[in-house]
Amino acid sequence: MAAADCSTLTAPSVSTEQPVVEMETDIAKVVVEETTIIEEDEDEEDKPRITRPRGSSRVHFPEDVHDPEIHVSRENNASIDVNVGFLQCSHRYQVCFTVGDSIKGEVDIPLVDKSTGVLSAEAFPTQNGDGHDVTIQLLNHKDGVVSEDIELVSRTEPSKTVKVVLHCRFINPGKDQGTPQVKEGVQTLCLEPDPSAEESEGSDWTPFE
Domains and CATH numbers, the chain: 17-53 (no CATH), 62-194 (2.60.40.10)
Within a 10 A sphere around the Cβ of 193, how many other Cβ atoms?
12
pLDDT at 125 over 50: yes
pLDDT in tens, 59-90: 333 544 467 899 999 887 789 999 999 999 99
CB of 91 closer than 8 Å to CB of 192: yes
pLDDT in tens, 102-115: 999 999 999 988 88
pLDDT at res. 176: 74
Within a 10 A sphere around the Cβ of 145, how many other Cβ atoms?
9
